[in-house]
Structure 1
Amino acid sequence: MTGRGAAEEWQPVCRMAELEVERGVTALVHGQAIAIFRTADDAVYALGNHDPFARHATAGIARGIVGRRGDVPFVASPAHRHAFDLRTGRCLDDLHVSVPAYDVKVVEGVVLIGHRKVDAA
């Protein structure tokens, strides 16, 4: 236990109204580059802004295309179009690859990012 308060676990990043639907934005959260997405149903997701298939560090997934495969919201990486589940960070095209997924909540219109989700696998 670090003694940090619960309020310090959640970092406010922007207002919900500032997020464009199905467009990614980036923020520095807990020292990590995070890609934040708002879907058409007003759900908000946060993933590590790194495309594990890209050769260049500048190819972040925040610039990817947001869509759905059945019930699964995803972002397709801009470099190679690999789809990543917005809920878990798992690659839908290669189940051995994933990016970090982060807890998100919206309180009074403010998007808050928590810590990295624990892998359920």
Structure 2
Amino acid sequence: MSTETLNWTAICGVDEILPDTGVCARVDGRHVAVFRVGTEAFHAIDNIDPKSGASVLSRGLVGNLGEQIVVASPLYKNHFDLKTGACLEFPEHSVQAHRVRIEAGRVLVALGA
């Protein structure tokens, strides 16, 4: 899918997300967690923890397991790959990943990967 045909939503300014943390936003009625990894990389996945149904993934701890950059759910500690949304412990609990881009100092998200 071309990035020009996607519906991009401005979430916040780049500097409003501290390195190695996340924020939650509603994009077209969907809860999305947007993460800043280090100072340059941004990722977005669904914010709803599939096991609990709570909108909490943006509050999880960002880190890595080997080569994978992940967030650990604050409730059940399951790890979600920030690039793909895959749940490492329980693949059936995977979430959707979304596109992120930076434009004029703003973080924009488009649903779908």
TM-score of the aligned structures, taking structure 2 as reference length: 0.88
Measure how far apart 1:110 and its partner are. 1.0
For 2:12, the equivalent position in structure 1 comes to 14
For 1:63, the equivalent position in structure 2 comes to 59
Cα pair distance change 1:31/1:49, threshold 3 Å: same
Q: Deviations over 1:58-104 (max 9, x none)?
A: 35111111001122110000111000000010001122320111110
**Over 4 Å off, 4+ runs:** none
TM-score of the aligned structures, taking structure 1 as reference length: 0.83
* Pairing of 1:74-113 with structure 2 (within 5 A): 74-113=70-109
For the 8 Å contact 2:6–2:110, the answer to whether it is kept is no
> Could you say what the CA RMSD is over the residues aligned between the two structures, in angstroms?
1.6
State the number of aligned residues: 110
Q: Which has the larger radius of gyration?
A: 1
Unaligned runs of 5+ in 1: 1-5
